[in-house]
Amino acid sequence: MIIDGRELSRSIREELRIQIKSIKNEYIEVPHLVVVLIGEDPASKSYVKAKERACKEVGIRSTLIKLESTISENDLLKELESLNKDDNVHGILVQLPLPKHISQDTVIDFLEVSKDVDGLTPTNISRCHTLRYSILPCTPKGIITMLKSKNIPIAGKHAVVIGRSNLVGKPIAQLLLKENASVSITHRHTEDLAAITKQADILVSAVGIAKFVTKEMVKKGAVCIDVGLSRVDGKLCGDFDFDNLLNHVAYISKAPGGVGPMTITSLLENTIECFLNQKNNIII
């Protein structure tokens, strides 16, 4: 069975649209998300447009700040400092990747924690890893929502994550642990990867290699969540060999059309959460 991220996103966004109307009635304003885009990377521009459309769809105010790729790190931090201090800005997202001369860690560390809609500041990450309240990274949060939407049992199951990035691999492992799964993290140095993936009740792959996970690597009846995307002959393709796995597994997400839409929907949820935290003086 397919876990359709687009369909689930539409359903959640309709609920968010109603919530935004209620927020506007109560607070006489709506959450305001500012996206900072540095340079002209085509993929980044595409992602930003999708986020702008999603904000408009549910009624979140969004502002795009476009900066030249030649901007200095210091000047970028000054821009972010202004946004950090602006009470009319409730969420800040710096679109990644950044130009090579700008430190991603420095920029993320500089963001006001209460406005960190990506859930990537050290405070949010550390709280996530210690299973305390935090703004959750968007993609892992979306994955958990997808699993729960199909009432897929997580507690007591063996979850295997392929990939150990700070954006997906590590935080999804933590969220699965929080749901009481037993979690294995694998990566490029893992020996006999298939021996581990074949044990998985829930298998999450975020490596970005087309059809990397074959039928032979997955046990029958498993749940497969495809995070990776790569382009083959001009066509986007996921990590899983989807066609050969569809009738072999219990559930599988499409890529594209699975985790991607849910990542943006989680961003909308996080923006609302940041707004409400600020209005109710909830400090992370």
Q: Which of 95, 201, 226, 239 is catalytic?
A: 95
List, by residue range, all CATH 3.40.50.10860 domains of the chain: 28-113
In single-letter form, the type of residue at position 221 comes to G
Helix (H, G, I), strand (E, B) or coil at 52: helix
Answer yes or no: 254 catalytic.
no
Q: How many CB atoms lie within 10 A of CB 105?
A: 10
Q: What does the pLDDT read at residue 279? A: 95
Query: What is the rounded CA–CA span in Å between residue 85 and residue 254?
Result: 40
Q: What does the pLDDT read at residue 235? A: 87
In CATH, the number for domain 138-259 is: 3.40.50.720
Q: What does the pLDDT read at residue 231? A: 87
Answer yes or no: 109 catalytic.
no
Take residue 30 and report the two structure tokens written for it.
């709506």
Q: What does the pLDDT read at residue 260? A: 95
Q: Which of 51, 141, 157, 170 is catalytic?
A: 51
Q: Which of 116, 118, 201, 241 is catalytic?
A: 118
CA-based R_g, the chain, Å: 19
Q: What does the pLDDT read at residue 253? A: 97
**pLDDT below 70 — which residues of the chain?**
none
Answer yes or no: 51 catalytic.
yes
Backbone angles phi, psi at 100, to 5 degrees: -60, -25
Q: What does the pLDDT read at residue 131? A: 81
- The answer to whether 227 touches 169, Cβ cutoff 8 Å, is no
- The answer to whether 81 touches 98, Cβ cutoff 8 Å, is no
List, by residue range, all CATH 3.40.50.720 domains of the chain: 138-259
**Neighbouring-strand partners of residue 253:** 3
Q: What does the pLDDT read at residue 267? A: 98
Give residues with Cβ within 8 angstroms of 187, minimum separation 6: 162, 163, 164, 169
Query: What is the rounded CA–CA span in Å between residue 258 and residue 23?
Result: 29
Q: What does the pLDDT read at residue 188? A: 85
- CATH number for 28-113 (one of 3.40.50.150, 3.40.50.10860, 3.40.50.720, 1.10.3720.10): it is 3.40.50.10860
- The answer to whether 115 touches 83, Cβ cutoff 8 Å, is yes
